[in-house]
Every structure is written in C-alpha cells, then in structure tokens.
Amino acid sequence: MACIKKMIVPLGLMIVALVVYSCKVSFGLAPISSIDYNKVKTITITDFENRAEYVYGPLAVEFNQKLKDMFIQQTRLQLVDSGGDLEISGEITGYNQYNEAVDASGYSSKVKLTLTVKVSYVNNTNHEEDFTDQQFSAFQTYDSSQQLTSVQDGLITVMVKDIAEQIFNSTVANW
C-alpha cells in the first residue's frame, strides 16, 4: 500500500505534464519547423483563387491572409512577391455542404460544411521536397436548424486555420 502511495504523486505529475503538453499542441502554438535558415530566407505565397462551384466572397481573402500570416508569424522567412526560396501556390477547389445526420423524423439534423484546397509547393533549395496538386481539406458540422449564412463565418475561420496548419506542416514542419 505504501508503494502505491509513493507512486501516486509522480504519476499525477506525469499526467499533468502530459495534459499541459497536449494542450500546447492543440491550442496551435507554433509548430517546430525544419527550415535551414542558412539556405532558406524567403517565401512566395501566391493568392489562392476560389474555383469552387459555390463561391463565398470572403473565403479566399480570409484563406490567403491566414496562410501568409502563419508563415510570417511562425518562421523567420521573409514574404516576397515572386522568386522565393520556397513557393506555395494553389486554389480553393471545393466549398460544399452535405447532410450528415438524419433525425427520427427522417429529416437532416446535421450539415457538414467542407473546404478543400489544392496546393503546389516548390522548395528551390531542395527539389526533393516539392509536391504538386496535393489536396488539403477540413470540415465542420452545424445543426440543420441554423442557416448557413448565420454560422458560415465562424465555420470558415476554423476550417481555414486547420488547412493553413496542414499546409504549414506539410511544407516546412515535415510532419
């Protein structure tokens, strides 16, 4: 019994440390990048055009700004208009909503809103890391009793952040 009591405190501390670490990751603190700043100093991120069938005006603007902000805030790279050591380009290819869940009456109870982008990445210092037309997507659900127009901006903010993090991790964090 005494042995168990002695283990409770260290075990409790390990659990607290694990929770704190996991919260740090989930709250979106800067991911660790694998950028060699001796070779890579600049990045070019061209504006992603919205080529989805359903076009919501503010979406492209918010996506482009969030993606650029993420690289500016979480790296030491300088954003340049063209000819960067790293180049990211692409387009928004999908913005769709689907019925996801049906209630007992047979009507939709949840709606899934999905955002998809296609990305090309060029690392002019190491072309082995390049990729072309890679798809990234995120989704959010909302109650079908709500109008898309009333929840759209909040859902877009979450999805844009998610996709920007996916792109960041696939390009410079090597996740």
111-121, pLDDT tens digit by residue? 999 999 999 99
Query: What is the structure's pLDDT at 88?
Result: 98
C-alpha 129: how far from its chain's center?
A: 19
Is a pLDDT exceeding 50 seen at residue 144? yes
**Helix pair angle (148-171, 57-74), 10° resolution:** 30
Facing residues of 135 across strands?
A: 118
The Cα 60–Cα 80 span in angstroms is 19
Residue 36 vs residue 10, higher pLDDT: 36
Query: With contact defined as beta carbons under 8 Å apart, do 115 and 156 qualify?
Result: yes
Query: What is the structure's pLDDT at 20?
Result: 45
Query: What is the structure's pLDDT at 105?
Result: 77
DSSP state of 128: G
The Cα 92–Cα 109 span in angstroms is 27
Distances in Å between the Cα of 107 and the Cα atoms of 74, 135, 146, 154, 173 are 44, 31, 14, 24, 43
Query: What is the structure's pLDDT at 21?
Result: 44
pLDDT bucket at 8, cuts 50 / 70 / 90: low
